[in-house]
Amino acid sequence: MKMLIVEDEVKTGDYLRQGLTEAGFVVDLARDGLDGLHLALAGDYDLIVLDVMLPSLDGWGILQTLRRGGRETPVLFLTARDQVEDRVRGLELGADDYLIKPFAFSEFLARVRTLLRRGRGHEPEILRSANLELDLLRRRVTRCGQRIDLTAKEFALLELLLRRKGEVLPRSLIASQVWDMNFDSDTNVIEVAVRRLRVKVDDPFEPKLIRTVRGMGYVLEAMEPS
């Protein structure tokens, strides 16, 4: 899941980006309104987190531009102004939720996941292949009923493979979707991550699911035991 944070307070922006990244999201961060609007219009985000008071263009202006342009990306407003009029204005412009600073990260993350669940609508909450299950809401992976502990990046990698099940994913796509970086042929970060994921979700079980397609990338599909 890809998210955009538009927040001019450096400590708050960095804190939210780190927390969301550790929770398994791909996060872009803009520190003023015009940069945030440009990213929001150019990118394909699952959720936008908007501070209200921003340099160059405030959060209300960003939201108004997005909604007038037909963009229905869920928006969570952040503000230090605990005024009913401000909250009403944001909601009338098309905000999906409102959070008053200061707030606990646990509450912020719960609001984020609620909005993502609402925005996905008909999409499944659990991704499956053979006897492997990935629960998107509880951030839990099981195989044959056994709980498997994954890092945030491993979870994001497995989620991508399951969402694109049966499709060969090139390393460049995995690098951009999971690590939010351009693929460098000199790095083996993807190979190492896939190897570690296999050790956890494939090696102790049958059938094997993650397969390397030489010269092309990786695919997740059920393979019968030989």
Residue 219 confidence (pLDDT) = 94
- Whole-prediction pTM value? 0.60
Lowest mean pLDDT among 59-63, 128-132, 164-168: 164-168
Between residues 187 and 29, the one the model is more confident about: 29
Burial 75-92 (b: 16+ CB within 10 A, else e): bbbbbeeeeeebbeebee
For residues 173-187, give the mean pLDDT: 71
Residue 29 confidence (pLDDT) = 96
Euclidean distance between CA atoms 93 and 166, whole angstroms: 41
Between residues 90 and 190, the one the model is more confident about: 190
Between residues 179 and 224, the one the model is more confident about: 179
Residue 226 confidence (pLDDT) = 45
Q: Is 65 a residue whose pLDDT tops 50? A: yes
From the centroid of its chain, how far is CA 92? 26
Q: Is 69 a residue whose pLDDT tops 60? A: yes
For residues 51-74, give the mean pLDDT: 91
Residue 121 confidence (pLDDT) = 52
Residue 183 confidence (pLDDT) = 56
Domains assigned to the chain? 2-119 (3.40.50.2300), 126-220 (1.10.10.10)
* N-terminal to C-terminal alpha carbon distance within the chain: 35
Euclidean distance between CA atoms 174 and 172, whole angstroms: 6
Q: Is 107 a residue whose pLDDT tops 50? A: yes
Q: Is 80 a residue whose pLDDT tops 70? A: yes
